Amino acid sequence: MAKPMTKTQLVAALAEEMGSDKKTASAALDAVTNVITKEVSGGGAVTLPGVGKIYCRERPERMVRNPATGEQIKKDADKVVKMTIAKALKDSVNG
């Protein structure tokens, strides 16, 4: 498995794709990240065309097991960020 692309590599690739400098590409990436963070943390969802949908889902209170002791513990309800991958991306990966 290949190593994941770092932010620096992503900014460089984005700058090349946009035909601009790395500073502009970095600002664009930061802006997109901030918009997604605000929307999802507020309970909304963001669809990135061709990539997928990022959303927040609430998990109910549940019983979990401590793997070290085997003891059952009640875990409070919480929220988790999920992403559904777009069919176009799945199809391009699978050829």
Whether the CB-CB separation of 42 and 35 falls below 8 Å is answered with no
Model confidence pLDDT, tens digit, residues 16-39: 999 999 999 999 999 999 999 999
**Total-model pTM:** 0.78
Question: Given this model, what pLDDT does residue 76 score?
Answer: 94
Residue 25 CB neighbours (<10 A) = 20
DSSP letter, residue 89: H
Tell me the domains of the chain and their CATH numbers. Answer: 1-42 (no CATH), 44-95 (4.10.520.10)
Q: Are 81 and 46 in contact (CB under 8 A)?
A: no
Predicted confidence band of residue 88 (pLDDT cuts 50, 70, 90): very high
Q: Model confidence at 2, in pLDDT bands (50, 70, 90)?
A: confident
